[in-house]
Amino acid sequence: MPGLKGRLSTVVKSKISKQLDRAENPSETLDYAYQRQVENLQNVKKGIADIATAKKRLALQQQQLGEQAAKLDAQAREAMSAGREDLARAALERKQLTLQEAGSLDQQIAQLESEQEKLIESEKQLEAKTEQFRSQKEVIKAQYSAAEAQVQVSEAATGVGDSMADVGMATQRALDKTETMRARAEAVDELQAAGTFGDLTSLGPGEDDVDRQLDQLGAKSAVDDELARLKAEVQPGAPQSALPPGNTGTVDRAEAQQPPAGDGEPSSN
C-alpha cells in the first residue's frame, strides 16, 4: 500500500518537525552556527599553515638539490683535470638530473604559493563574514530575548500563558466541584424533607408517605383537643366539673327529678 506508507511517512516527518521546532532554541542555533564558522575559519588557517610548511620543505629540498648540482659540477671539473672524461660526463649527467628535479620543485613551490594566496584571501573574507555574523548573532539574540520576555509578560497579563491557563483550569474545576457539591446537598435536603430517607434503625414495617401524613393529622387533632381543655380550665368564671367527662347526663337527670323548693310540703298556715 504505497499510498498508506506515504501518508504515514508524511505524518511521522511532520510530527518530528513539530517536536524539533519546539525543542529548537534560536539562541543556541545561532551560537552553533557561529561556532561552525569559527571552526571553518580555523581550518582555513590550518590549511594556510600546512601550505606554508610544505612550501618551506620544498624550498629546503631545492636548496639541497642546488648544493648537489654545484658539487657534481665541481666533480666533473676535477675529472676533466685528471683526464677522466668518462667520469666528468657521468657527473654532468647527474648534475642535469638534479637541476631538472630542482626545476620541478620550482613549479610545485609556485603552485603552493598560488594556493596559499587564495587561502589567505578566503581567510580574510571568511573572517570578515564570521565577525559580521557574530555581530548579527548578538543582535538577533538580544531581539529574541526581548521578544520572549515581552511574550511572557503579555501572557502573564492576559492569562494566555500555560501557567495562567493551568491556574484558570484549576479554578474552573474547583468551581465546578463546588457547584456539584452544593446541588447534591440541596438534593439530599429535599429528599430528607420528603421522607425518602426513613429511619433505617427503626424496627417493624416501614412507613410510607401516606402513613406519615395520617400520623401527623392524628397528632394535630390530639394537640387541638388538649389545647381546648387547657383553655377551659384556665379561663376565669368557667364552671369546673368535678365529674369526669361523660357523666354530665346523669347529673342533669338527677337534678330534673328533684322537686322545686316548697312544693309538696304542708303549709304551716
Containing domain of residue 46, as a range? Answer: 11-158
- The DSSP secondary-structure symbol of 260 reads P
Task: Identify whether 217 is part of a domain.
Answer: no
- The DSSP secondary-structure symbol of 259 reads P
Task: Identify whether 101 is part of a domain.
Answer: yes
The dihedral over CA atoms of 146, 150, 152, 153, expressed in degrees to the nearest 10, equals 130
| Grid cell of 185 as nine digits | 446537598
Q: What is the pLDDT of residue 261?
A: 45
Residues 35-47 have a mean pLDDT of 90
Residue 167: pLDDT band (50, 70, 90) is: confident
Residue 59, pLDDT > 80, answer: yes
In whole angstroms, what is the distance from residue 191 CA to residue 208 CA?
14
| Nearest to 34, CA basis, from 126, 125, 148 | 126
Residue 31: pLDDT band (50, 70, 90) is: confident
Task: Identify whether 209 is part of a domain.
Answer: no
pLDDT (tens digit per residue) in 106-130: 888 888 888 889 889 988 898 898 8
Q: What is the pLDDT of residue 209?
A: 64
Residues 54-61 have a mean pLDDT of 89
Residue 186, pLDDT > 70, answer: yes
Residue 249: pLDDT band (50, 70, 90) is: very low
Q: What is the pLDDT of residue 197?
A: 56
Which has the minimum average pLDDT: 46-55, 152-161, 183-192? 152-161
**Is the pLDDT higher at 263 or at 5?**
5
Task: Identify whether 170 is part of a domain.
Answer: no
Domain of 150, CATH number, reads: 1.10.287
Task: Identify whether 249 is part of a domain.
Answer: no
Neighbours of 140 (CB within 10 A): 15
In whole angstroms, what is the distance from residue 258 CA to residue 95 CA?
191
Residues 6-26 have a mean pLDDT of 70
Per-residue burial over 141-172, b if 16 or more Cβ lie within 10 Å, else e, is eeeeeeeeeeeeeeeeeeeebeeeeeeeeeee
| Nearest to 62, CA basis, from 26, 29, 104, 27 | 104
Contacts of 253 (CB under 8 A, 6+ apart): none
Q: What domain count does the chain have?
A: 1
Residue 10: pLDDT band (50, 70, 90) is: confident
**Is the pLDDT higher at 214 or at 36?**
36
Residues 33-37 have a mean pLDDT of 88
Alpha-helix residue ranges (DSSP H) falling in the chain: 2-23, 26-81, 85-158, 162-193, 209-234, 248-257
Q: What is the pLDDT of residue 257?
A: 46
In whole angstroms, what is the distance from residue 178 CA to residue 186 CA?
12
Task: Identify whether 2 is part of a domain.
Answer: no
Neighbours of 120 (CB within 10 A): 15
Task: Identify whether 26 is part of a domain.
Answer: yes
Question: 183, 197 in Cβ contact below 8 A?
Answer: no
Residue 264: pLDDT band (50, 70, 90) is: very low
Task: Identify whether 185 is part of a domain.
Answer: no
Residue 267: pLDDT band (50, 70, 90) is: very low
pLDDT (tens digit per residue) in 228-244: 888 788 875 555 444 44
